[in-house]
Amino acid sequence: MHLTLRQLKVFEAVARHLSFRRAAEELHLSQPAVSMQIKQLEANVELPLFDHVGKKVFLTEAGHEMYHYSRAIAGLLAEADEVIEQLKGGRRGKLALSVASTVNYFAPALLGSFCRRFPDITISLDVTNRETLLRQLAENEADLVIMGQPPAGEDLEAGAFMENPLVIIAPPDHPLASERNIPLTRMAEETFVVRERGSGTRGATERFFNQHGITLNTGMEISSNEAIKQSVQAGLGLGLLSRDTLEMELALNKLVVLDVEDFPIVRHWYVMHRRAKRLSPVAQAFKRFLLEEANTLLRPALPGAVSAAEDK
């Protein structure tokens, strides 16, 4: 086969989007130019790489194989570029960062501080759920990932850089809002609005209450922190969220944190990547910045907080 890097780059974009139009937009090419590159590649391969069914595009068996190798080649080229930049010792570069949805409440402040030190870098930020973050780690799609407890059994390098306290929230007019040192067993009498199954917050919540022999009464499952806060404000139940999500609501007295025995549950935020991954100079700098400075920049450690078992 006589392939060009340009053909492989165009093919990878089309295969990833399963759309000639979206690939053309991403690559800043015309759609006919994209189609021409694909036709030339298929002619070189001597096999069709895409099936066209109506307006939809599907990969053929050969297309799936080519997609696998095109991604591997793109990864090697990106790694070569990172190594060359590292040898140059420059302060320019790109950082592909993926974070859990809760992290987005404080990520802009950290990124702002970091970018003021390195004004010539470019950052791509993906805010998504835990399931997608685990997939991105498995497929080595991001330079760094920030989330809660790292998954067990994965070959990852992870470092805790800041506490992640989980607290119980209620509307200001809730009967428990003014009480102090509320017994944990009292929570069995309340209804909770909770995150969806699979989320880090949901997992930590269930483990904590199971360890204390308390059955949590869940009224609603919601996949958004903002929707949980709105539901709690509306009186649909208590909530359990990271305190990092609550700054505005607490300041405006729209929500209160209940003073419950053994709370907050103190977990941690981790920055992680595949152990064998060669980090670019920018990624190394940002990882070091998080581990050494993030906690001090955003807040001091909570006094008297009770640590709880995290994901196991």
Contact indicator for 102, 225 with CB cutoff of 8 Å: yes
- The pLDDT of 127-144, averaged and rounded, is 90
Strand boundaries in 231-264, DSSP class E? 238-242, 256-257
pLDDT for the residue numbered 93: 77
Contact indicator for 217, 190 with CB cutoff of 8 Å: yes
Distance of alpha carbon 139 from the chain centroid: 14
Going by CATH, does the domain composed of 163-267 fall within 3.30.1950.10? no
Cα dihedral 285/286/287/289 (nearest 10):
90
pLDDT for the residue numbered 310: 44
Q: What is the pLDDT of residues 251-275, one digit of tens each?
A: 999 999 999 999 998 889 999 999 8
pLDDT for the residue numbered 42: 92
pLDDT for the residue numbered 139: 86
Q: Which CATH architecture has domain 90-159+268-303?
A: 3-Layer(aba) Sandwich (3.40)
If you write DSSP's letter for every residue of 66-84 in order, what string do you get? HHHHHHHHHHHHHHHHHHH
Residues of the chain with CATH 3.40.190.10: 90-159+268-303, 163-267
Q: What is the pLDDT of residues 8-24, one digit of tens each?
A: 999 999 999 999 999 99
Q: Which CATH number fits domain 5-85: 1.20.1250.20, 1.10.10.10, 1.20.200.10, 3.40.640.10?
A: 1.10.10.10
pLDDT for the residue numbered 306: 40
Backbone dihedral angles phi then psi of residue 152, each to the nearest 5 degrees: -75, 145
Residue 282 pLDDT grade (very low, low, confident, very high; cuts 50, 70, 90): confident
Contact indicator for 145, 137 with CB cutoff of 8 Å: yes
What distance in Å separates the CA atoms of residue 46 and residue 28, rounded to the nearest whole number?
A: 27
Q: What is the pLDDT of residues 188-205, one digit of tens each?
A: 999 999 988 877 788 888
| Lowest mean pLDDT across 5-9, 97-101, 154-158, 171-175 | 154-158
Output the pTM of the full model.
Answer: 0.64
Residues of the chain with CATH 1.10.10.10: 5-85
